[in-house]
Structures are given as C-alpha cells and as structure tokens.
Structure 1
Amino acid sequence: MKKTITIIGSGFSSLAASCYLAKEGFDVTILEKNNTVGGRARQFVKDGFTFDIGPTWYWMPDVFEKFFADFSKHPSDYYHLDKLNPAYEVYFDTLDSIQIADNLPDILSVFEKEEVGSAKHLETFLDNAKHNYDVAIKDLVYRPGISITELITPVTMKKANQFFSTIRTSVRKKIKNNRLQQIMEFPVLFLGAKPSNTPSFYSFMNYADFGLGTWHPKGGMYEVVKAMYILAFELGVKIKTNQNVEKINVENGVVKSVISNGITIESDVVLSGADYHHTETLLDEKYRGYSEKYWNSKVFAPSSLLFYVAFDKKIENVSHHTLFFDTDFDLHAKDIYDNPKWPDKPLFYASFPSKTDSSVAPEDKEAGIFLIPIAPGIKDTTAIREIYFDNIIKRFEKLTNQKVSENIIFKESFCVKDFVNDYNSYKGNAYGLANILTQTAFLRPKIISKKVKNLFFTGQLTVPGPGVPPSIISGKIVSNLIKKQFSNKQ
C-alpha cells in the first residue's frame, strides 16, 4: 500500500517536493490555506491588470531547467521566457541612472566608464564568483544541512577564507566607486542580509546576476507556479485549497495526522512548506524542536511594504526592474537589522512588467509594483503605509522627471500584517532567515524534525535558504530524504 504524505502549503518548495514524491509513488496531498496555490508567489488581478504579489525576479534559470528536466520536461513546455535588456536599472539622482545590460561585455564597458580599471577587477571578481556558483549551486546547495561535514570538501577547504570574509570586503577591495559598489552589493539582498554580514562565498549571486542574466516569464512569475501545479496534477498530486491546518497530531513521537478545517486527515508523513515557526506551534509543546527564545534570537530577512499600482498611462524613464538608491543604504540597513524601525530614508524598488509584457496591463497603461524593505515585526497601519507611499512616489516623480500621482487608477498594499495573516509568517518576514554565516547550511533549522518521526520541513526557513531557486531545491532535498527513509518500506 502506498505511503500517504500530507504537505502543508503550496509554495515553490511544497510544489517541487510534491512532484518528486508523487513520481516516486507516494500518495501526496497538498493542503493550502489560501484560495489559490503558490504561497507567497500568488497573483493579484484587477481591471485587466496583473501583479505578482510575491517574487518578481527570475534568476538562476538553470535551477528551473534542472527541476523540469527531472521530469523529462522543460520550462518552455509551460511558459515563455524573455531575457531582459536592460536586466535592471539603478537610479542615484534625477535622471542619473546606470543600466545593467544582458551581456558581460556591455556591463564591463559601463563599469569602466564609471571607474577606470574597474572592468578588469570585475572580470577577476566574476571568475571567482562563477567558480563559487559551480561549487554552490551544482553541489553544496543540494545537501540536506544535517552535518558540518557536508561543507568540508577539497574545494571548500581551499575557499575557507571566503566564509569568514564578507561580500562588502571583497567588493570594495578593488572597486572604489560607490555607485558600482552598491550595484555589486545589491544581489546579496536576495539572501536577506547586509553585505557586511554576508560571507564572500556568496559572490555566486553576482554571477547569477551578471553571468546568467535576468529573465521574465510572460504573464509573470505566477506562470511558474501554474507550471509546477500542472506538473504536480499530472503526476497524481491532490491539491486542496482553503484548507487551514490547525493541528499536527503525534503519538509516541510519531506523526499520525493533521487536523484541517476541523477534519482529521491521517498520514504516514507530514511535510510542511509553511512557516517553520508556525508549523511548530501546531505541535504540542513537548514536540517542538525550537523554542520561542531560539526564534527571537535569529536574524530574519526583511519584511516588505508593497504597493500594486495601476496607471492610466505609460511610465517613462524606467526599466522593467528599477532600483532607487538615492539615499544611504547603510542607514536604511540599520533601520532593518540593528535598530528595527520604520526607515527615515528608505531605498525602494519598482517593477513595471508591462514594459516588456503586454499581457499584464491594458494597452497604453502600466502595471507598477513598488517595494520598500523594512524590519519584520514593526508596527503596520494604513496611515503608515500611506505616508511611505507618498514618500516614494514624490521621490519617484523627481528622480524620473515625470508626474504620475494623478494617473493612478487604483493601488493596493501588502505589508507586515498581511504576511502574518496570509502566510502565518513569523513577525511578518517576507522571505525567511537571513543567510549569514551563523545561519548557513547545517546551522539553519533542520529539514527533519528533531523530535517527531516522519515530520519534515521545506522552504526558506530551512536549507538551503531564501529565494525562489533555493526553495525549489529545498523541495528536492526533502523529497530525497523522505524517499531514502521509506525506500525499503513501500
């Protein structure tokens, strides 16, 4: 008889795991709290406008290709990809921006124009970054984070110093131009930590940026969710929405069932892709692997204040992805990590997918997504949201030299309270634990429950870490562990 597996949540990690487990012959059911699948990567559609609620960046295309290849599929079987050129644009002052091209020669040219000699330094930096990428993404990142020995290989021993130096140190060693420094430090923000706290080994994010480029799935990132949903369905996964899991039942240290919407669902294995902290609150206290003190001591990635804005005209002087670095990043970072509070002068990011994808907005109109990184757990009110929207729109108008506030058809916001309500997110964080040295690999919350047999975890709070590609990889890691445990029991 097939072993039954209940998966809590339907984000990227859960969908990936469900596909691998169904392929191995398990009877898999996903229980999703919300009314659509995708977890944090849901979609908001209104009046002909389409917005990705969560992730908007498609990086590391090789990870997606590898996932679908495991099922003899290809991303193009499900969605169309365009490589963005420019990949993104960074504003520093009024009509003063740097565009990052879709190829290295042009990027080197931009760097050299900003700082003589920097192109050579960037090439050397990226050679090392590519090597780190090959080591990390093709090997280390697929390890389950059970023991420190996973990180000890002949290659990593040679690179040991890169785990104790930081991205900021390695970037600023040769390149002195502040604008270029900020561009090179930007990719590690996807890891949820300051460049000054992120090991230099994570320079592989720079290779993901400059070497592999930035892509866009036509229709938005939710097309990837739909692709994985279709694949899971084809493999026999049962997916149920509007299912609020209220309890995980354990008997004699072994998981037995979950209670969802008041109904008990028996299961041989429970796998949670939901928030790790929240999942443990569904257990009796004696079965929780981590205390409240533990969670409170961890460094979390930022939360976000997001706005989804429909404009009645095309927006000028911006790219599909546009970053606004017209204020001091270090001051903003202190307001996130060191003294958590609403930032006085926040940096922000804007995405205008309708610049390259006509399917996400009506003709001659624009869909805009604005994001301010903020500290998790801070006070979130409608009034505060409005203050910050007014702040960034005024700056946006000045920096891009145009008026847009009178052209807003509608806007919706999403912030700390929504992350908590919709995803049971700890302190309303947006994407998990920061990838600092003391929270890397085997030092992250374990993928296998420390106290409950047949209870597993996946997603951005366990290995390998935050981001869409790591979440997909996390799904593969946990499915391999489950398969290994039950290989002789099917």
Structure 2
Amino acid sequence: MDPGPRLRRTWPIVTAAGQRAVIIGGGIAGLASAALLARNGYDVDLLEQQDCLGGRAGSWARDGFRFDTGPSWYLMPEVFDHFFRLLGTTARDELDLERLDPAYRVFFEGIDEPVDIRADVAVNVATFDAIEPGAGARLRAYLTSARDTHDIATRRFLYSSFQSVVPLLRRDVLARAGRLLGLLTRPLETFVATSFADHRLRQILGYAAVFLGSSPDRAPSMYHLMSHLDLADGVNYPHGGFTRLIEVIARLAEKEGARLHTHAVVTAIDATPARRGRARATGVRYRAADGTERTIAADVVVSAADLHHTETELLPPSLQTYPQRWWDRRESGPGAVLVYLGVRGGLPELAHHSLFFTRDWTANFDDIFGDHPRVPDPASCYVCRPSATDSSVAPPGMENLFVLVPVPADPSIGRGGLSGGGDAAVERIADAAIDQVATWSGATGLRDRIVLRRTVGPGDFVADLHAWSGGALGPAHTWRQSAFLRGRNASRRVHGLYYAGSSTIPGIGLPMCLISAEILLKRLRGDRSTEPLPEDRRAT
C-alpha cells in the first residue's frame, strides 16, 4: 500500500539505516515505539500475542455493542498532539475529538446530589465555593500550583531517561528544589487537606491517585498536577473510542514501514553469552499462529510487554536486571474487576464519566493496598457511559456501560466470563457494583434492563496480559516508584534490550506510554536531554 506523501522532517534525525528492531507487545507503547523507530530508519517487526492490537487498550464487540476494554480517559491532549507531530501529522487530523461537558460526575455515599465537574474553570470554582465557602479561591491557587508542577515535570522529568543528573541541574529545577522535594515526600492526601475541609472536595482532588495505580495517602503530592488536567484543561473523547486511537497509531507505524504481527507469542529473548557481566541482545524466539517456533534476529529488542514477565520469564536469571527479589520489594497498582454491560433504554442519570466514592475511602484504599488486602465492601467504582457521546458504541435505544471496581492485585480473586459465567467472587463484585450504581444514581431497574454482560477479573489480566500480580495498571506511583526511582528503560545486563510502557518510565497511562516510546528513541540516539523532541513544524 502506498503510504502517501511524506512531510519533510525539520527536526534533527540520527538514522539507524540497516539496523533491525523487534518490539514485544502491541499495546499503545509498542505501537508508538514501532512508529517512531521505523520513522527513524529502523527495520521494525512488532510481535503481539493476541489476535488483535491494543493490549490493555483493546476492544470487544457483541450484539451491536462495542466496548473499549481498558483506558477511557483522554487527558494531556498536548502529549498526543506532540506524538502525532513527531510523525508528521496532528491529533486534529487523525482523531475526531469532543470535549466532554460535564467532564465527569461524582456520586458520594449518603449524599443525594452528585457533583458535576464542568469544562469551565470558573464554573468549577463556583461549585467548590457552593460546597465549602472560600474553597473557590483556594481551588484557583491549587490549580496554579498544579499547572506550575505540570510544566516543570514536562520540561525536566517526564521526557527524561535519567541517565544523567546534569540536565536536571537547571535553574528552574534548582529554584524549586525545596518545593519539589516536599511534593515528592508528602502524600497527596495531606497536601489536599491543607486547603480543603469538605470530604467531597478532598475526594475530587485526591482520586487522581487511582489513575496512577496508587491511593491519595500513598501517592506523592507531586501528582496534584493531575488536577489541572481535568479541572482546567478538560476531558476529551475520541469518537470511535480508544480503539480508534490504536487503529490510527498502528496505521502510522505501518505507513513508516513497521511490520505488525499478531498471534505471535514471544517465548524468549536471545542474547550472546555475557562477557564482563553483560550480554548483547540478538533477537527473540516466538511461537507463530500455526504453532511453529520461529526466530527473528535483531540489533535492538524493545519489550513493551509487562516488565516483570519480560525479566523473569523471557530472560535467564543471569541476565535479569529486575529479578523476582526486586519485584518482591515493589508495590503493584490495584487489580480490577471490569464489567461490560449492554443496557436497554436510557441512563441519563450517568454522565460519560461517573465516579462513585464511598464515605470512608481510607478504609476502601486500605482494603486494596494494606497489609491484609480484601475486596472493599462497599467499594468505590468508576462507570463510563460512552453511548452518552458516541452513537456507534451501542444499538439504537441502548446504552453501553463500562464499570471498573478497584480491588487488590490478587489473581486468586478469579477470572470473569459472559452472562454471569465468571468465577464466583468476580461475579459477586460485579453484582454489588451494578446495584450500587443503580441505587446511588437513581437508575431505576438497571439490573433488569441488562441485555449483555461480560466480566473480567485479575486472573484475566495475568492470563491475557502477563500482568504482574494481576494488576490492572502497572507498578503503583509511590514515591519509591516514581521518576528516576521507577526503574530504567534499558537492561543493565543485556546491551540492546530496552523497555517501554507502563512498567517503566515515566509511568502509567496512555500519555505516559507515548512518552515512554519517545524516551526510548532518545536513548537510542544518545540524547540525554529532558525536553520533548523537536516537532515537525510542517505538521499543522
């Protein structure tokens, strides 16, 4: 297929003509890595074990309903647009984005009226003031701090491989050193509590920690920057769902020349014998769809698969940078029970995004992350109703619901299934969430109107994605697992082996996965800068 005219690159390129790269995993990080490396001159093969691309950002369809199986929030639009500009295009040209208003709705246990977060900062300020007099002005100050933290993080941390501290010793970092240290070591929950007393406002500002696979009392207050993303920048939705985003990036990767293979299960990373403590990657072994064992030689191997699986299953112990004992000292993000529901009739009580918060969410998070984990009861949960915005995801007169219940990262909770056929614990959690959503929101007869039901449990994350501990997101963003403490994106034991995705820097979420692909490219170029790469200015 003719890829069409290429835009002239106006940013500096260090080509890798003749070098072959193999990428393990066809989620968003693997696809983004394939696209960037192919554009940079690598001969790229990507191997995905499933029959379709997307990984956690997959898609499932049945009876006229289509569900995004994972990510559903489009935040940090500047990261997406920057990534597309590196490929000579723009998000505007590739995606049909709609700004959601309300951005999301929040239901609180024991309180009849939900709170809407709107696409207008002034309205949100007024909402905070109405709940807690004086909180509006404090919200403006909070968002100013969030913006400043976001900007310094983007310039100095998010796009850094942390190979050298020299680029971090800039005036803007040094001038904020004391404040940044405090933000890293102080929990988000405590930081929020200094400005807001009402528990509803604290929950609205603290829930962003869940996006990071953590909890407000465990995530560093550095991540209050997340509040600027939804309360000020707003929340978008790509029509066609997040599977459309995956399709676009896959198409761009193929346009650059990358070859994308599905039904290709990688079984080992090949390397030369270690010399002076370090081996060299030479390729991968994989099992093709026909069951045959095959090998692809490569100069560069990039694993965008789960890092725990990569290190402990695809490499021998002598070549593991992160062996099991390293993981034993780390903290997983939460597991999740996912429920995909096709519902007869309308559900105007729910926004596109709705959050359901228990009153005692300290106990809720302790149940998930504490020393004696158990499924919370009741549990806070999240509901996405994309049919509120996108008519393509459900038949006429029907609604599409995606329900996510955070639970401990414990595969023994079980696996899901169709029509209530999953493991008993998973189905009980789903039943409780459906009843909770109906009762708190006033969605009368929700359970009786369900015409399609599928559940997914922590056991499915292990079976389908090799997810460490059955986690739904990746390693939690605690202070010991953020920035340069999160883990390198290159093997110490195997030259030519690199990592991308939510397991490595910069972390969890679709924007972070795109950035991880760019950090990979910078590392291959020998670029130790902290800023995003220069864009193709002809991409307008």
TM interval, short-chain normalised: over 0.9
**Which moves more between the two structures, 395-404 or 406-415?**
395-404
Aligned: 1:328 with 2:360: yes
d(CA) in 2 for partners of 1:142, 1:378: 33
Aligned to 1:393: 434
What is the CA distance between 1:373 and its match in structure 2?
0.6
What is the CA distance between 1:316 and its match in structure 2?
3.0
Aligned to 1:265: 296
Aligned to 1:346: 379
Match of 1:452 among 494, 502, 506: 494
Q: Deviations over 1:329-369 (max 9, x none)?
A: 11110011112222222111111000111111111100000
Aligned to 2:525: 483
Q: Deviations over 1:443-488 (max 9, x none)?
A: 1121010100100011111100111100100011012212339xxx
Aligned to 1:213: 234
Match of 1:319 among 351, 354, 358: 351
d(CA) in 2 for partners of 1:165, 1:426: 27
Aligned to 2:449: 407
Aligned: 1:136 with 2:153: yes
**Which moves more between the two structures, 91-100 or 17-26?**
91-100
Aligned: 1:421 with 2:463: yes
Note the residue ranges of structure 1 that are not aligned, 5 or more in a row. 486-490
d(CA) in 2 for partners of 1:449, 1:242: 26
What is the CA distance between 1:291 and its match in structure 2?
2.0
Aligned to 2:214: 193
d(CA) in 1 for partners of 2:388, 2:358: 23
Aligned: 1:102 with 2:131: no
Q: Deviations over 1:395-437 (max 9, x none)?
A: 2221122111111111111111111111111111111111111
Equivalenced residue count is 485
* Partner-residue secondary structure (3-state), 2:141: helix
Aligned: 1:364 with 2:397: yes
d(CA) in 2 for partners of 1:376, 1:181: 25
Aligned: 1:161 with 2:182: yes
Name the TM-score, length of structure 1 as normaliser: 0.96
* Partner-residue secondary structure (3-state), 1:174: coil
Structure 2 contact 430–455 (Cα < 8 Å) conserved? no
Aligned to 1:488: none
**Which moves more between the two structures, 156-165 or 38-47?**
156-165
d(CA) in 2 for partners of 1:152, 1:12: 32
| Counterpart AA for 1:288 | Q
What is the CA distance between 1:182 and its match in structure 2?
0.4
Percent identity of equivalent pairs: 31
* Partner-residue secondary structure (3-state), 1:58: coil
Structure 1 contact 24–483 (Cα < 8 Å) conserved? no
Aligned to 2:318: 286
d(CA) in 1 for partners of 2:316, 2:324: 14
d(CA) in 2 for partners of 1:116, 1:134: 29
d(CA) in 2 for partners of 1:136, 1:391: 39
What is the CA distance between 1:238 and its match in structure 2?
0.4
Aligned to 1:304: 336
| Counterpart AA for 2:393 | V
d(CA) in 2 for partners of 1:156, 1:182: 30
Task: Say what the alpha-carbon RMSD is for the aligned residues.
Answer: 1.4
Structure 2 contact 156–168 (Cα < 8 Å) conserved? no
| Counterpart AA for 2:242 | M
d(CA) in 2 for partners of 1:188, 1:400: 24
Aligned: 1:245 with 2:266: yes
- Per residue, is there more helix in 1 or in 2? 1
Aligned to 1:277: 308
d(CA) in 1 for partners of 2:325, 2:368: 20
* Partner-residue secondary structure (3-state), 1:460: coil
d(CA) in 2 for partners of 1:244, 1:311: 36
| Counterpart AA for 2:406 | P
**Which moves more between the two structures, 421-430 or 387-396?**
387-396
| Counterpart AA for 1:203 | H
- Hey, which bits of structure 1, 4+ residues long, moved more than 4 A? 147-152
1:151–1:185 CA distance, 2 compared to 1 (3 A)? farther
d(CA) in 2 for partners of 1:29, 1:443: 30
Aligned to 2:281: 255
Match of 1:440 among 482, 496, 499: 482
What is the CA distance between 1:319 and its match in structure 2?
0.4
Match of 2:98 among 82, 87, 100: 82
| Counterpart AA for 1:268 | D
d(CA) in 1 for partners of 2:20, 2:377: 51
d(CA) in 1 for partners of 2:121, 2:306: 38
What is the CA distance between 1:198 and its match in structure 2?
1.7
d(CA) in 2 for partners of 1:228, 1:439: 28
Aligned to 2:86: 70
What is the CA distance between 1:94 and its match in structure 2?
5.9
Q: How does 1:6-155 map onto structure 2 within 5 Å? A: 6-92=22-108, 93=110, 95-147=112-164, 151-155=168-172
d(CA) in 1 for partners of 2:100, 2:377: 32
| Counterpart AA for 2:510 | V
What is the CA distance between 1:204 and its match in structure 2?
1.0
Structure 1 contact 21–483 (Cα < 8 Å) conserved? no
* Partner-residue secondary structure (3-state), 2:494: coil
Aligned to 2:7: none
Structure 1 contact 191–467 (Cα < 8 Å) conserved? yes
1:309–1:388 CA distance, 2 compared to 1 (3 A)? same
Structure 2 contact 334–407 (Cα < 8 Å) conserved? yes
Structure 1 contact 145–444 (Cα < 8 Å) conserved? no
d(CA) in 1 for partners of 2:144, 2:283: 50
Structure 2 contact 332–468 (Cα < 8 Å) conserved? no
d(CA) in 1 for partners of 2:19, 2:138: 54
Structure 2 contact 186–221 (Cα < 8 Å) conserved? yes
Structure 1 contact 94–398 (Cα < 8 Å) conserved? no
Q: Deviations over 1:210-236 (max 9, x none)?
A: 121111000111111111011101100
* Partner-residue secondary structure (3-state), 1:230: helix
What is the CA distance between 1:147 and its match in structure 2?
4.8
* Partner-residue secondary structure (3-state), 1:39: coil
* Partner-residue secondary structure (3-state), 2:413: coil
* Partner-residue secondary structure (3-state), 1:314: coil
